[in-house]
């Protein structure tokens, strides 16, 4: 099944705070830090090829529910 996030709004009826989201899954936050430490500058360097919006990072825990 093809699934995607579509922002529908922010606080008090404001427009969505994001125009795009990427979900990267790691076994642990330390794995994320290791990966971005090794390849973060390359990934950040590619962002201006697509947008002039500053990226934001959110680290979440994926839990069964």
* pLDDT exceeds cutoff 70 at 65: no
How do the domains of the chain map onto residue ranges?
1-65
The average pLDDT across 5-9 equals 76
Task: Specify the pTM.
Answer: 0.60
Cα 25–chain centre separation: 10
* Average pLDDT value for the chain: 85
Q: What was the pLDDT predicted at 24? A: 86
Burial class (CB in 10 A: 0-12, 13-18, 19+), 12: exposed
pLDDT in tens, 11-29: 888 888 778 888 888 998 8
Q: What was the pLDDT predicted at 41? A: 93
Under 8 Å between Cβ of 35 and 26: yes
């Amino acid at each position: 099944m093809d699934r995607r996030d579509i922002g529908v709004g922010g606080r008090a009826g404001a427009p969505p705070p994001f125009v795009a989201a990427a979900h990267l899954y790691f076994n642990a936050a330390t794995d994320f830090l290791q990966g971005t430490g090794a390849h973060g500058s390359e990934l950040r360097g590619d962002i201006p090829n697509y947008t002039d919006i500053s990226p934001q990072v959110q680290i979440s825990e994926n839990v069964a529910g």
